[in-house]
Structure formats: structure tokens, C-alpha cells
Amino acid sequence: MPNNKYEKRLIFRIITIFAPLFSFFIPMMQYVKDLTCGSIRGQLVRLALPVMGSSFVQMAYSFTDMAWVGSLGSKSVAAIGAVGVLTWTSNSLALINKVGSEVNVGQCIGAQRMDKAQAYASHNLTLALLISIVWTTLIWTCATPLIGIFGMERDVSQLSVDYLRVVSTAFPFIFTSAAFTGIYNASGHTQVPFYVNGIGLALNMLLDPLFILGLDMGILGAAWATWISQATVCLMFFYVLMRRHRLFEGFRILVPLRLPYVPLIFKVGLPVALLNIFFSLISLFMGRTASAEGGYLGVMTLTAGGQLEAIAWYTSQGFSTALGTFVAQNYAAGCEERIRKAFKMTLGITAAIGIGCTALFYVGGEWIFSLITPEQDAYRAGGLFLKIDSYSMIFMMLEITTQGVFYGTGRTVPPALVSITGNMLRIPLALLLGHWGWGIAGVWWAISMSSILKGCVLFGWLVLRRHVLLTGSTLRPRSNLLS
């Protein structure tokens, strides 16, 4: 922690200033929202918009840190960049309990089993805390050899190790906040994570320049700004759930872990976590391939293009999460027709987004990249990436939307299998196209073609298995969720 009395008093005052905002920003709530009746389109939109906002808030965290650290020089930027893969992996592990909460708690609410919903909520929070403690201990202990993998200069590596060790102690807050987010999503109150994370972002934006430049803490200033912001977010979730308006009567944060809750949480959440971890590892290899084929312009195009693509991805992911929450409640309630209508509506919305992104990326790719870099070679390279990527946008929307149906029914393995297999195909495909002389364009086509394949396969899986997937009456004998 900051090591003088002035800094500690300053941090305490900042937190006390933000504390009254808890009640101001968090809206009055009912206990849970019943999504098994009422307007389908209205419910989907009201659920999706805050989720999209929360996703963009999470993106803004990393942008804020990188922007201020950039003023310290390239070595500091490289030090944070090296930690990026480990933080991505950590956020992926946190999905175990986020998705576990969204699916299990949502299905129990739909089946009107509030006792089971409360039990799953408590188990997810307890499990999130335990997993985060084990993961933090592992990262802290192995920080030096993990950073050593990147082979950076000794002073840069030491900066990365110091930064990683500070950030790793915030993992319990991050994991627990993810479980809280899943609980609120399942209960239909997606606006709560948006407000809470928004206040956390505002605090982070305030503390970054104060710690990095004002108190001359350098890269560790960014680490402690993130730490305090994430701790504040977690405490706000706790305050809202336990003090302001309880979702469940007699709710307990920590409980002794019991069967069958733990296996069912891992059954639902672990495939999604593994999906994201594999994606991060494959992205590393694709980055190396892009560097080999296109040099620094290849790496720049892949990273900047990925950030632009992420805008479309997060937008569709918001509707997918909303659909998953909607499906979870209606699946348990046996409202099959509402699920079908919701899927068609969501698919129509995300298809429209995909068509818009396709047109924008195909026609205006170079112009978009010219806003990022004025170098002609750079924005032409970026324009090529977006043009090739534009062919896959609709299919990416199709995959993400279809995932929402699978997640809502508790069947998270099929999307994970399709995604992991499709992403792994990018490696041999990129090497093959490179061998054929496609150059850097071959890497982009490998990414685009695999996205097209994933969307088609997962949608086909849903169509072929729809009668089994969407039958709510199969819930009890299949998963024993409510027993």
C-alpha cells in the first residue's frame, strides 16, 4: 500500500467522498424481476443496454491505465502489456462464478425456487472468493518466472513483477464482483453492475493521474489506482445487496460449500472460462504470426483492429447476456414459446448490428484506422484487416447470440467446444495461407474464416437440437438443479 500517512489519509477521504454516491446512483429495486411474463422486446432491451454499458466501462479501465502510463515512457507501457495476458486469464477464471450465477440463479428464479436461488448465489460468492485466493497466491509466488517468459530487459521485467504483484492482490475483489454481477443479471437488475462499475471507473480515472504523476508513484500508481477502484466496486456490491435492498431474505455472503451446488456451478461456468483462456493463448500465437508476416504493422493492425472489433463484440455480447438471463428464467418455467420469440428478436437486432459493421468496415476501414494513426502504410494495413474481417461480422453476431440460448439452458459445453475448436483452427490455417504466399492477409483471412465457421456450426447445432435444448421440463431430471 502507499507508504506514508498523507497518502493513506488521502485515500480514506476519497473513499468517504464516494460512499454517499452509493445511495444516490443505485436505483430502488424490487427483490427480483419476473421475466416469464410481459413484453419480450422491452425486457431484452432493458436487460441488454446496462450490460453493454458495463462492458464498455471495463474496456475503459485498461484504456485509462494505458493512457496515463504512456506518459511514463515505452518501458512502462511494455511492463503493463506483459501483465495483460495474466489479467485476461484471471478475468476468464472469474467467469466461472459470473456465468454460474447467471444460469443457476436465473433458472431457480424462473422456477419460483427462491430458496435455491439464494443458495446458489451464496455458493457462487463463496467459491469466487476461494478460487481468487488460490489464484492470487499462485500468481504472487510465481510472478518472476511468469514475467520471465517474455524475455524483456531486467528493469522492465522488474517493473512488470512489481505491477503484477500489486494487481494480483485485487483478484479477490474482481472475482467476487464478477459473481455479484452474475447474481444481479440473473435477477433482472443489470443496471446495478453498470452503475457500480461506472462509479469504480470514475474513481480510477481520478486516482490514475493523482498516483502516477501527482504522487510520483509511477507504474505502481496505476496498480494501486486499479486496486482501490476494484475494492470500492466490491464493497459497493456488498452494500447494495446486504444493506440497501436485499434480493433474498436472510441472504448470507459466505456459506459452507455443499453438494450438489459446487459441481453444477463448475459444470456451467468452467467451459466458458476455458473458452476465454484458450482464446487469449491463441491470440498470443496469432500476434507472433502477424509479426512474422507483417512486422510491427502486423502487430499494430491486429491489436488496434481487435479493439475496434471489440466494440461490435461487446454490443452483441450485451444482447447475448440479456438473452441468456431471459432464457434461464423462461426455461425453468417451461415457457418455450417465449424463448423462441426472444431468440428471433435478439437475432434480428444483432443481425442489424452485424450488417452495419460489415458495411462500415468494408467501405470505411482505412478511414477508421486513419483516425488512430496518420501513417499511410499503417492505415492501409488496418483497412485491409477490417475489409477482410467485415465478411465475418454477421456470423460473429450469429455465434454470440446463439451462445445466449445455450448458456440460458445451462448447456455451456457446446459453445465452448465450437469456439475453442474454431479458434485453434486459426493457427494451422494462418500457417497454411502464409505458406501459399498470402502474406499478412492470410492471417486476417484465417481469423475471418474461422469466425464464419464458428457461427454456422453453433447455429446449426441449435437448429438440429432445438427440441431438446428448449424443453424446460427436462431441467429437473437432467441437472438436478432444483432437487
pLDDT, tens digit, for every residue of 351-407?
Answer: 998 999 899 989 888 888 777 667 777 778 888 888 999 999 999 999 999 999 999
121 falls within a domain: yes
Say if residue 134 is in the same domain as residue 283: no
Cβ-Cβ contacts under 8 Å for 353 (sequence gap 6 or more): 312, 315, 316, 397
Say if residue 250 is in the same domain as residue 303: no
Which cell numbers in the block locate residue 296?
A: 510491427
281 falls within a domain: yes
320 falls within a domain: yes
Q: Is the pLDDT of residue 473 over 60?
A: no
Say if residue 123 is in the same domain as residue 92: yes
pLDDT on residue 28: 45
User: Dmax over Cα atoms in the chain, in whole Å?
Assistant: 65
Q: Last residue of some domain: 258, 282, 306?
A: 258
- Comparing 55 with 338, which gets the higher pLDDT? 338
8 falls within a domain: no
Say if residue 175 is in the same domain as residue 289: no
27 falls within a domain: no
Q: Is the pLDDT of residue 23 over 50?
A: no
pLDDT on residue 32: 75
| Maximum average pLDDT range among 49-63, 171-185, 371-385 | 171-185
Q: Last residue of some domain: 239, 258, 277?
A: 258
Say if residue 286 is in the same domain as residue 227: no
Say if residue 249 is in the same domain as residue 341: no
Share of the chain above pLDDT 70, in %: 82
pLDDT on residue 123: 93
Say if residue 286 is in the same domain as residue 432: yes
Between 129-133, 345-349, 360-364, 477-481, the lowest mean confidence (pLDDT) is in 477-481
Three-state SS for the chain is CCCCHHHHHHHHHHHHHHCCHHHHHCCCCCCCCCCCCCCHHHHHHHHHHHHHHHHHHHHHHHHHHHHHHHHHCHHHHHHHHHHHHHHHHHHHHHHHHHHHHHHHHHHHHHCCCHHHHHHHHHHHHHHHHHHHHHHHHHHHHCHHHHHHCCCCCHHHHHHHHHHHHHHHCCHHHHHHHHHHHHHHHHCCCCHHHHHHHHHHHHHHHHHHHHHHHHCCCCHHHHHHHHHHHHHHHHHHHHHHHHHHCCCCCCCCCCCCCCCCHHHHHHHHHHHHHHHHHHHHHHHHHHHHHHHHHHHHHHHHHHHHHHHHHHHHHHHHHHHHHHHHHHHHHHHHHCCHHHHHHHHHHHHHHHHHHHHHHHHHHHHHHHHHHHCCCCCHHHHHHHHHHHHHHHCCHHHHHHHHHHHHHHHHCCCCHHHHHHHHHHHHHHHHHHHHHHHCCCCHHHHHHHHHHHHHHHHHHHHHHHHHCHHHHCCHHHHHHHHCCCC
Say if residue 254 is in the same domain as residue 310: no
Q: Is the pLDDT of residue 478 over 80?
A: no
pTM of the model: 0.82
- Comparing 244 with 200, which gets the higher pLDDT? 200
205 falls within a domain: yes
9 falls within a domain: no
- Comparing 461 with 70, which gets the higher pLDDT? 461
Say if residue 189 is in the same domain as residue 284: no
pLDDT on residue 24: 44
Whole-angstrom distance, CA of residue 185 vs CA of residue 195: 13
pLDDT on residue 301: 74
Say if residue 209 is in the same domain as residue 305: no
Helices 261-333 and 413-435, packing angle to 10 deg: 100
Q: Is the pLDDT of residue 433 over 50?
A: yes
Whole-angstrom distance, CA of residue 129 vs CA of residue 265: 14
pLDDT on residue 246: 65
- How many domains does the chain contain in total? 2
Between 110-119, 149-158, 259-268, the lowest mean confidence (pLDDT) is in 149-158
12 falls within a domain: no
Say if residue 254 is in the same domain as residue 301: no
Say if residue 334 is in the same domain as residue 413: yes
Q: Last residue of some domain: 258, 278, 311?
A: 258
| Domain of 113, in residue numbers | 46-258
pLDDT tier at 152 (50, 70, 90 boundaries)? low
Average pLDDT over all residues of the chain: 81
